[in-house]
Amino acid sequence: MSEPKAQVTQSASLALHADAKTPTILEQEFSMNETGPRVKELQKAIGTVRVDGVYGKITRREHIKALQVRGLATNGVPKNIPMYNIPGDQSQRCPQWEPLFKQVGLEPVDVFSYIAFRESHCNPESQNATWKNGVMTYHLNKDKSYDTGLLQINSSWQSVTEKVCGEDASKNHMQGLKDPMCNVMVAKYIMDYSQGKLGNWRVYKI
């Protein structure tokens, strides 16, 4: 037996009402430098940006355009764009490592190129602590933590290093972080999952 016409109309109305309450991907709220599948979905819906899963300045600009063309509110677009406190001097970069940063999706590449220069002078073997017979003989950080490798990953990320690089970081003083791939993959994990993201390297101007 077919559903009465009035009931069909009411069901359709309820369905439309429910859909109206669910914001489209374009109308959802995003944060600057957010990464992940949701950003890729947005970028596909925008249609005029590279689908790389990173909500950067270009995605923000095109996101606003896409909303305005459709007559939609721009409430979900980030209001404040982080500025990076990095010098324009290209000699303070590590261009030899930029392809690796790009390969693993560690962006902005230019910012990480500067971080590598500032933190390790592009040296993947860099570590700001030493040990003798298992006893720390030198440490730069006041709290006796230490930083290792190209991007100077702090020892507080020991469990993450073990998870990402598959090593017992507590026994070898994070030596695995001297492998550039391990180092940048841990950095990528920090960018993807930590609340501080680039703030962990203190490069935000605002």
Bridge partners of residue 84, in order along the sequence: 204
What is the per-residue pLDDT across 102-127, written as a single tens digit (0 to 9) for each?
999 999 999 999 999 999 999 999 99
pLDDT of the residue at 204:
74
Closest CA to 64 of 74, 75, 52, 78: 74
Do 107 and 188 belong together in one domain? yes
φ/ψ (deg, to 5) at 192 = -80, -35
The pair of structure tokens assigned to 145 is 């933590």
DSSP label at residue 147:
E
As a whole number of angstroms, the distance between CA 178 and CA 151 comes to 10
Closest CA to 85 of 203, 192, 180: 203
Preceding omega of 82 cis (within 30 degrees of 0):
no
Residue at which a domain ends, from 69, 84, 116: 69
pLDDT digits (tens, 9 = 90+) for 8-40: 444 444 444 444 457 899 999 998 878 889 999
What residues pair up with 129 in beta bridges, in sequence order? 139
CA distance 107 to 97: 12
Structure tokens at 138: 């030198």
Residues 27 and 99 in one domain: no
User: In a 10 Å sphere around its CB, with 0-12 CB exposed, 13-18 middle and 19+ buried, how is residue 18 labelled?
Assistant: exposed
The Cα 105–Cα 195 span in angstroms is 18
Mean pLDDT of 35-55: 92
Domain identity same for 116 and 24: no
Query: For a pLDDT cut of 90, what percent of the chain falls above it?
Result: 64
Total tally of structural domains belonging to the chain:
2
Structural domain includes residue 11:
yes
Domain boundary among 52, 69, 86: 69
Q: Are residues 112 and 17 in the same domain?
A: no
- Whether residue 107 sits in one domain with residue 47: no
**Structural domain harbouring 61:** 5-69
